[in-house]
Structure 1
Amino acid sequence: MTNQTEYDLEMPLCAGINIEDYSITQLQQALTEGKFTSYELTECHLGRMEVVDELVKAVIDVNPEALLIADRMDKEREEGKVRSLLHGIPFVVKNNIATKDDMQTTAGSTSTIPVLVGATVPKDAEVVTKLRDAGAVLIGNANMSEWAAMRASYYSEGYSSRGGQCRNPYNLAEAPGDSSGGSAVCVATNIATFSLGTETDGSVIYPADRNSVVGLKPTVGLTSTAGVIPESSSLDTVGTFGRFVADAVIALDGISHGLENASYSSFVTTKEALKGARFGLPWKRIWERAKRTSNGKMEYEGLITAIQKIREAGAEVLNNVDLPSAEEIVPPEGSDWDYAAKQGRPEQSEFTVVKTEFYNEIQSYLSGLTSNPHNIKTLEDIIAYNTRHTEKEGGVPGTHPAWPTGQDTFEKSAASKGIKNDNYTNALAYIQKKSRDEGIDAALESQGEPLDGLLVPVQADGGVAVQVAAKAGYPVITIPIGVNENGVPFGLGILQTAHKEDLLIKYGSAIEDLIRGRAKPQFLNIKADNFMFIGIKPE
């Protein structure tokens, strides 16, 4: 492996202070005490971005108004106004979350630029509005797998035509994770204090896990997707990334519809909360596959060691708490959202739902733009653009190295015409029943009293456990645990039923306090220039 000795990648001091391990609360305290201003803090993060992003390519757009916003927050502070814990704190959002400023919301693609250059989104995404109202400082848009990994069945993970190949800062020859990889990398490398990503199937939790940060994917509907370039309304949600559970939760408080009489931050605890807690390990097709996978041996052993520590801290961890539907809902060869259709059962396929909803919802999104001078209004228009510009967008198979299969997933969605036929209706009902009533809910209730969560290996078999939660629309949190033999981090996920974020936060923060597994990026293989493919390789 090539190391970083010829590069100066240490976090720069902010007004003489090393803020690399500062939480949002600590930054806020420093701002209150006048140790530095939000302007200086933002300058520090922009400087970090300038140095590090050349290597990791985690940022697509830099907000030219960032320092102006920070200056306004400083003036408000001087006048005695502090809006929230996020006042003056720098953040980034994934490039499919609309921002009404001098940045382009394109889902990483050049194909929507003709729509948006000379045109405008009608307003910020609702989650961005909430963060601006809370006083947070938007400094940029994060790179992502183009079109949130919707355009092709086999592609280079983390690649977009606008942002290039996003890389894992722990080992630059390794993938950053699923489509929100840029958002996770920005937090891991201190480009931003916290970030937003979107998840349809694994795209918050998986990259958080691979970048040694906390990912919090909320229940579908808890955070607004208004103004987010859509994929599937039944599965889409906006989640948060932070270096600590508390940071991800403060961000969730900033964007969620919230609790009536409390903040989610009130549920953050310490390791003492593990005494008397009860967790389950879903073995069939989840932990059993993690144990048998030879290239994941170090991760499996690290996770088992962490679970033993959780037991020693006073929690009960029950083995073989299986999902009753495991053999139906979990693909036997690893994560694959169209596995059922490939077996001749499209009425049981997650992708049947996604491709149908995407067709309709991308048209709705495009029609909602303030202006559309280039008349790109449908998925067919986007497909045609990619085909015409295949040297850049790889619309034709084999013409761009990042997309060997071209845009075959787009084409399958277009073929559906968005018709909500019996296959669609039955598929939605099937995946929800098997992942909820006969899946996560059944496992949580299988031991008499309800369990406090299901502990899962996030990366095992391509994230099959996280995929079950995605089908259910249920919340997940992932906590850093360690680093594998390739230098890539791994963590422990907790699954719960709908709207039980309080339990995920309580026990996620307790496990974080116990394990303290977050690692610092090492920038191994710093000269890597490879693609990192994911999906089903074409024959």
Structure 2
Amino acid sequence: MDRRDFVRLGLAAGAVAGTAGAARAAQAAAGNDAILEAGAQEQGAQMQAGKLTAVSLAERYLARIAAIDKAGPRINAVIELNPDALRIAAELDAERKAGKVRGPLHGIPVLLKDNIATGDKMSTSAGSLALDGVRASRDAFVAARLRDAGAVILGKTNLSEWANMRSTHSVSGWSGRGGLTRNPHALDRNTSGSSSGSGAAMAASLATLAVGTETDGSIVSPASTCGIVGIKPTLGLVSRSGIIPIAHSQDTAGPMTRSVADAALLLAALAGTDPQDPATKGIQGRPDDYVAALRPDGLKGKRLGVARNFFGSSTAVDAVIEKELAVLKAQGAILVDVEVPNVDKYNDSELEVLLAEFRPDLEAYLAAYAPHASIKTMADLIAFNDRNAARELQFFGQEHLVAAQAKRGLNDKAYRAALANNHRYARDEGIDTVMAERQLDALVAPTGGLAWLTDFINGDHYGGSFSSPAAVAGYPHVTVPAGQAHGLPVGISFVGTAWSDAALIGMAYAYEQASKRRKAPAFAASVNLKA
């Protein structure tokens, strides 16, 4: 498919008007092409059997992006396409034909969140106009790992600008460069953030795999609200090198996919020791562990702590999760009601740490990966936004950027005390304590609330979240679709101690296989409350 074909497809899909027309466009783009909904293993098997090529698979996803993302329902999940995607796919097809297969991701299309550097023709912007058109000097470590694994980087996904660390009144899923990403399950509902585009793209089957990033909730929350699988790995399992940062003490990239099996394959490709990221020196386990964990009996005999202090924010969500607890029990899990202690003791200190790390971490990234950018410092970014307020600040401000600029740096006593407080109450006297005392294999709870109506006047209004304990501790967190309420997805979370990623994947997979709760989106204009 050349550029003219791509434009033609987009214009044809865009001619369809209205909600019913949007739904028809979505269905027409998908047709009976079940391979677009399939996972990496099935797609790879068809390539190996000669029934599919990397080029044809990429072309079909590009056609779906044109019909659904850029026209029709206009999900707006993809901020930029890789102009070299089809060339790369053709090269990988030639390798396969010559007998060289790099692994299970050979020829598989993947979308990367637009804060992950790619040393190619695409921008890496964090959704900001300040970095629009700025090409990274080289690949992020995770992007290089994916290329080595044979994945086809199809493009970049939109995000909440600066990974949702710009304003105290932000609208998740919106960036100055990319606009608003919409929830495929109900177009007037929010995708949550900040990996909004990756979540929506996976729900709408715009690629096989996607990568998001999380500081606190930015993988698991959009995964839950979009009805997909998300994994926030143990801090240090996946390198942070080349990812536009918020805070090194909590940032990590991770998989966002339609199945736990795909998430395990993707995590195996992403994980690895990076000399440029000291946090990865302590990696425990092997990449094969994540795929080997995919066993249908992964819940048998597991003691799961039902974190009751993370219920109660939504009666509709609670009702869904209570039913799913019976599924866990039926698969051999032993359920124990618990409360995660001290979760109220790091609310303020978490923000203190994020703000203190933001400026030095961002300026280090700009120097290393975007040396030609017009902005070099946090002060430059703030000034840019002020100069371009009509576009950048039209809906909300930059209070977090201003607060980060005012912090004294990583040697400040207040920062160091806040970081120690976080680790004490999230790790030692938080997750570690309850799991040791109750002899648990994992904690389970609702991932978060239902997708809210996007509101450019009042900003976001979340309905509860289980993200902070694992995020602040740097521990792994897996969310899996658990059903729906009012037609909106609900996620169930599995959280564990450091380096328990493989174990959590095993439990999440066993639950997924027993429940099969994921539903493809209907691209409805809004929720039908009478349904």
What's the TM-score bracket when you normalise by the shorter of the two chains? Answer: 0.7 to 0.9
After superposition, residues 23-422 of structure 1 pair within 5 angstroms as 23-54=39-70, 55-113=74-132, 117=134, 120-257=135-272, 259-260=285-286, 262-270=288-296, 272-284=297-309, 286-287=310-311, 290=312, 293=313, 296-319=314-337, 321-329=338-346, 339-340=347-348, 349-369=349-369, 371-372=371-372, 374=374, 376-394=375-393, 400-401=394-395, 403=396, 406-422=397-413
Q: Is the contact made by 1:358 and 1:418 (CA closer than 8 Å) also made in structure 2?
A: no
Q: Give, in whole Å, the separation in 2 of the partners of 1:246 and 1:150.
A: 31
Structure 1 residues 11 and 233: alpha-carbon distance in aligned structure 2, compared to 1, 3 A threshold? farther
State the partner residue of 1:437: 428
Q: CA deviation at 1:17?
A: 4.6
After superposition, residues 411-490 of structure 1 pair within 5 angstroms as 411-447=402-438, 450-460=439-449, 462-485=463-486, 487-490=487-490
Q: Is the contact made by 1:280 and 1:453 (CA closer than 8 Å) also made in structure 2?
A: yes
Q: CA deviation at 1:481?
A: 0.8
Q: Give, in whole Å, the separation in 2 of the partners of 1:76 and 1:13.
A: 28
Q: CA deviation at 1:489?
A: 0.5
State the partner residue of 2:37: 21
Q: CA deviation at 1:11?
A: 6.5
Structure 1 residues 373 and 518: alpha-carbon distance in aligned structure 2, compared to 1, 3 A threshold? closer
Q: Is the contact made by 2:366 and 2:373 (CA closer than 8 Å) also made in structure 1?
A: no
Amino acid aligned to 1:27: Q
Q: Is the contact made by 1:245 and 1:512 (CA closer than 8 Å) also made in structure 2?
A: yes
Q: Is the contact made by 2:481 and 2:518 (CA closer than 8 Å) also made in structure 1?
A: yes
Q: Give, in whole Å, the separation in 1 of the partners of 2:166 and 2:382.
A: 9
Q: Is the contact made by 2:36 and 2:61 (CA closer than 8 Å) also made in structure 1?
A: no
Q: Is the contact made by 1:209 and 1:490 (CA closer than 8 Å) also made in structure 2?
A: yes
Q: Give, in whole Å, the separation in 1 of the partners of 2:191 and 2:287.
A: 37
Q: Give, in whole Å, the separation in 2 of the partners of 1:414 and 1:31.
A: 51
Amino acid aligned to 2:38: Y
State the partner residue of 1:336: none
Higher relative contact order (CA 8 A, sep 6+): 1
Q: CA deviation at 1:418?
A: 2.5
Q: Give, in whole Å, the separation in 2 of the partners of 1:102 and 1:123.
A: 11
Amino acid aligned to 2:225: R
Structure 1 residues 526 and 459: alpha-carbon distance in aligned structure 2, compared to 1, 3 A threshold? closer
Q: Is the contact made by 2:298 and 2:509 (CA closer than 8 Å) also made in structure 1?
A: no
Q: Give, in whole Å, the separation in 1 of the partners of 2:54 and 2:474.
A: 36
Q: CA deviation at 1:324?
A: 2.6
Q: Is the contact made by 1:477 and 1:493 (CA closer than 8 Å) also made in structure 2?
A: yes
Structure 1 residues 326 and 416: alpha-carbon distance in aligned structure 2, compared to 1, 3 A threshold? closer
Structure 1 residues 97 and 373: alpha-carbon distance in aligned structure 2, compared to 1, 3 A threshold? closer
Amino acid aligned to 1:326: V
Q: Give, in whole Å, the separation in 2 of the partners of 1:377 and 1:327.
A: 36
Q: 1:223 is paired with a residue of what secondary structure?
A: coil
Q: Give, in whole Å, the separation in 2 of the partners of 1:149 and 1:481.
A: 26
Q: CA deviation at 1:243?
A: 0.6
Q: Give, in whole Å, the separation in 1 of the partners of 2:118 and 2:353.
A: 28
Structure 2: any 5+ residue segments left out of the alignment?
1-17, 273-282, 450-461
Q: Give, in whole Å, the separation in 1 of the partners of 2:182 and 2:306.
A: 32
Q: Is the contact made by 2:446 and 2:465 (CA closer than 8 Å) also made in structure 1?
A: no
Structure 1 residues 261 and 52: alpha-carbon distance in aligned structure 2, compared to 1, 3 A threshold? closer
Q: Give, in whole Å, the separation in 2 of the partners of 1:20 and 1:60.
A: 20
State the partner residue of 1:335: none
Q: Give, in whole Å, the separation in 1 of the partners of 2:306 and 2:289.
A: 29
Q: Is the contact made by 2:187 and 2:524 (CA closer than 8 Å) also made in structure 1?
A: yes
Structure 1 residues 248 and 260: alpha-carbon distance in aligned structure 2, compared to 1, 3 A threshold? closer
State the partner residue of 1:534: none
Q: Is the contact made by 2:196 and 2:222 (CA closer than 8 Å) also made in structure 1?
A: yes
Structure 1 residues 79 and 432: alpha-carbon distance in aligned structure 2, compared to 1, 3 A threshold? same
Q: CA deviation at 1:185?
A: 1.0
Q: CA deviation at 1:78?
A: 0.4
Q: CA deviation at 1:210?
A: 0.8
Query: Could you report, residue by residue, the CA deviation over 1:113-147 in whole angstroms, capped at 9, with x for unpaired residues?
Result: 3xx54xx4221000000000000000100000000
Q: Give, in whole Å, the separation in 1 of the partners of 2:28 and 2:240.
A: 33
Structure 1 residues 304 and 137: alpha-carbon distance in aligned structure 2, compared to 1, 3 A threshold? same
Q: Give, in whole Å, the separation in 1 of the partners of 2:44 and 2:252.
A: 28
Amino acid aligned to 2:55: Y
Structure 1 residues 281 and 373: alpha-carbon distance in aligned structure 2, compared to 1, 3 A threshold? closer
Q: CA deviation at 1:274?
A: 2.3
Q: Is the contact made by 1:235 and 1:471 (CA closer than 8 Å) also made in structure 2?
A: yes
Amino acid aligned to 2:196: G
Structure 1 residues 185 and 13: alpha-carbon distance in aligned structure 2, compared to 1, 3 A threshold? closer
Displacement over 3 Å in runs of 4+: 2-7, 11-14, 258-263, 460-464
Amino acid aligned to 2:301: G
Q: Give, in whole Å, the separation in 2 of the partners of 1:268 and 1:369.
A: 36
How many residues were matched structurally? 483
Q: Give, in whole Å, the separation in 1 of the partners of 2:470 and 2:51.
A: 43
Q: Give, in whole Å, the separation in 1 of the partners of 2:140 and 2:343.
A: 36
Q: CA deviation at 1:256?
A: 0.1
Q: CA deviation at 1:313?
A: 2.5
State the partner residue of 1:498: 498
Q: CA deviation at 1:273?
A: 3.0
Q: Give, in whole Å, the separation in 1 of the partners of 2:200 and 2:490.
A: 14
Structure 1 residues 160 and 445: alpha-carbon distance in aligned structure 2, compared to 1, 3 A threshold? same
Q: 2:264 is paired with a residue of what secondary structure?
A: helix
Query: Could you report, residue by residue, the CA deviation over 1:432-478 in whole angstroms, capped at 9, with x for unpaired residues?
Result: 1101111111111122xx31110011114645421111110110000
RMSD between superposed Cα atoms in Å: 1.8
Q: Give, in whole Å, the separation in 1 of the partners of 2:301 and 2:385.
A: 55
